[in-house]
Structure 1
Amino acid sequence: MWKVFIRRHSYQSKVAPNREGARLIIRRLQKTVLRILRDPDFRMSKSSFQQKPAEPEPQVDGAQFNVHRNGKPDSNCRTCNDFKSWSKQQRLISNTQAAKEKHIAASEKLTVNAAGVAAPREDCPLDKVRLGISTWGLLHTMAAFYSDNPTDTEKRDMRTFFEVLSRLYPCEYCAKDFRSDIEVNPVNVNSQKDLAMWLCNFHNRVNDKLGKPLFDCSKVNERWRDGWLDGSCD
């Protein structure tokens, strides 16, 4: 058996004379000796000492080339991934960006509040300015949809409404000025056009006292009933 061992060793030495081949032969001889010692019936074959052919390199597809150094695929490469995976990655990117923007907005809000400039609430009691804006909106809308040929009852009701409002309006000096004005310029309730024009002129007199710009009363129904002619209210 040892003669076979030596012959095989000499054969392999001729096949692989280089240094790396020699190291490989020595390792294989060591393994063979151990197997002989453990199993006396072990028989050596020529293939035990032959160098195994190099294994072919694994084939890779296009997606494997599109990898960062950290091993993660490029999320922006749609052609390197299937559509489902690509879509999922894009949603994750979008959600991350949205969360970032929301965080930035919240931080800016906290910064504003910390500086003492808090945004006004929408559910607070009305001040004089907001009350006036709301009241003018109600009055102009009522005038815009008043009847073109009102009955005597409708005329009386509308006149009474303005008289009561001038007494109950929750701004004392505003109500007093209101009463003084309608005593000089009585409410005209003869038609929709007459009421709308009377109210527009009354509003302009108030604006003039407050130093605000005057409104073109020829466009009062365009503003409060029909919408602007350019279609911007459609």
Structure 2
Amino acid sequence: MTATPNDGSQPGLAPSGRKIIYDENGKPCRSCNTLLDFQLLTGKVTTPKVQKVADTTSKPDTYAQVDPPDVELLGRSSWTLLHSIAAKYPKKPNEKQKSEMSQFMTIFSHVYPCWWCAKDFELFIRANAPKVNSRDELGKWVCEAHNDVNRKLGKPIFDCNLWENRWINGWD
């Protein structure tokens, strides 16, 4: 089953009943939709799992007891964000987009919640200016920045030539 936007500006509905967001090419946006809805729309899954849709119109009686993120959760979430931003960066960005991405990375290194990690990322940026001339260049730069941290933490190093498989195309 495929869904198409009615006029390109209004989201359609997924089989689950949630709104589907489309990218600039009229295809379902992987980053903007749930994995299940994306898989249903692209035909990778044909039977939806039954999910209860939360009532978002009323105030909850209780809140989940979730603690603030620790350094590991914050790190995983931040790297996911940075890799995802690189995956959606234009293949051929204009000068404004290049400037904004460079500024974003610098600002990110200044406002990151872990001051130690922020300083480390800032030093990495000083030594290795963000490469923003293309999506591929930025994706590999983010991967190398991530690998720099992984080396310091004794974690496995990712082959940055495979970054698109991990963050754009998936592993067929």
Corresponding residue for 1:125?
68
In the TM superposition, what is the alpha-carbon distance from 1:123 to its structure 2 partner? 2.2
Gaps of 5+ in 1: 1-120, 230-234
Q: Please say which structure displays the higher CA radius of gyration.
A: 1
1:3-32 deviation per Cα after TM superposition (whole angstroms, max 9, x unaligned): xxxxxxxxxxxxxxxxxxxxxxxxxxxxxx
Alignment of 1:10-29 (within 5 A): none
Matched to 1:123, the amino acid is: V
Q: Name the SS for the 1:181 alignment partner.
A: helix
Q: Name the SS for the 1:157 alignment partner.
A: helix
Structure 1 runs of 4+ aligned residues shifted over 2 Å read none
Corresponding residue for 1:214?
157
Change beyond 3 A, Cα 1:122–1:133: farther
Picking from 173, 193, 196, the partner of 2:139 is 196
Corresponding residue for 2:96?
153
Distance 1:160 1:205 in 2: 20
1:79-118 deviation per Cα after TM superposition (whole angstroms, max 9, x unaligned): xxxxxxxxxxxxxxxxxxxxxxxxxxxxxxxxxxxxxxxx
Picking from 143, 151, 154, the partner of 2:86 is 143
Distance 2:161 2:103 in 1: 26
Corresponding residue for 2:42?
none
Matched to 1:211, the amino acid is: G
Gaps of 5+ in 2: 1-63
Q: Name the SS for the 1:205 alignment partner.
A: helix
Distance 2:168 2:78 in 1: 16
Q: What number of residue pairs does the alignment pair up?
A: 109
Higher helix share: 1
Please give the root-mean-square deviation of Cα atoms over the aligned residues, in Å.
1.2
Corresponding residue for 1:162?
105
Distance 1:122 1:213 in 2: 32
